[in-house]
Structures are given as structure tokens and as C-alpha cells.
Amino acid sequence: MKRFVRNRADARLLPSRRDFALFRLVAWMRLSRAKPARTSSMFFTDRHQTAIEMWTIGLWLLATTTLYVTDAVSHRLPFVAALLTGFVIALLALQFTPVLSGLVVAPVWRSVVSRTTPPMRVNGFVVMFLFFALTGWAALRPSWVRYVAWWTITVAALNLIAAALLYLFRDSIARLEGSVVGGAVSER
């Protein structure tokens, strides 16, 4: 069920429109300081509707995976060639992992764990699991890429802390969102 919020400019700041905890925490802080304003626009409360968040995470995954693959092939190729090779392999890996996950992992997941889990959620879990497995491998390497991996681990830890804070303040966030959504909502 999707919610549409009409005629509220501050609805673009709703934490429920974000997917990752760091972005939800920033949205909550911005919303708590925002002034109610009327506009002639409509916003969805779907978590995947924020372009800045999706592009930031997507480019971060692509850049980091590119650097991991570059490090793995850099001892066989000159650095620029390794970087280009890493970019192409990272692009292919990030494109085909959800497809393979949807064909192989999602049906098994739905038959063993839960029939109601959407395939997109399973695909996201598989992509992030493989990404963090690769990050763990890169963090233990005795090369420059370990600094990238540890930065990634730090951001993931900050996201976990943000998720804990959001959990602690979930009632306050729900009240704040309710004040924005108010009577200007339609559900489908």
C-alpha cells in the first residue's frame, strides 16, 4: 500500500521516503526543523523514491567495487588498464548479480524462508552481502585498497548507529510524520 501526500512541501523530507538509516536520520533532523508549507505537488512515501540516496549508494558501490577489482588485477596490468578493467568488471557484476539472485536465490528463499518476501528485497540482500564479503576480503589485503575497505566498514557502522538511534526515537518520528501527513493523504 502506497501513500500519496498532497499539497505539503515538507513531505519531501519524510524519513519514510528513505531506505538507508543515515539518510533517514538526516531527513528526520531536517523535517523536525522544517516549516509547514503548502505546495501543489504530490509525494510518494515509497522508500525507493529518493534519487539522491539511490544514486549516492549506487555510485558508492560502483566506485568501491571498481577499486577492489582494480587492486585484484593491478599486479598483472598497468594501473590505468587495471582501473578500466576493474570498472568494466564492477559494472557487469553489479548488473548481473541481481539477475542471478532473482533466478537462483529468490526462488529458494521464497520456498524455504518466506513466500511473502519480495524478490527485490532478496536481490538487495544478496548484493549487499556480496559487497560486504568483498569488503572484508579487501580490508585484510596488505595494499592500498584496505583503506577504502575500512572506510566502507566505518560508513556501515555509522549506518548501524543511525538505525539504532532511529529505533530509539521511532515514536517521535512517527508523530512528526503524522503531523506532516495529517489529512492530506490518499492510500492505494
CA atoms of 3 and 101, how far apart (whole Å): 29
Write down how long the chain is: 188
Dihedral in degrees, nearest 10, Cα atoms 139, 59, 45, 174: 30
Q: Rg of the Cα trace of the chain?
A: 20
Residue 123 has pLDDT above 90, yes or no: no
Cell output for 91 = 559494472
Query: Could you count the other beta carbons within 10 Å of the beta carbon of residue 29?
Result: 12
Q: How confident is residue 187, by pLDDT bands cut at 50, 70 and 90?
A: very low
- Indicate the pLDDT class of residue 9, thresholds 50, 70 and 90: low
Every domain of the chain and the residues it spans: 3-187
pLDDT in tens, 79-97: 999 999 999 999 999 999 8
Comparing C-alpha atoms, which of 54, 45, 46, 40 is closest to residue 11?
Answer: 45
Its pTM stands at 0.79
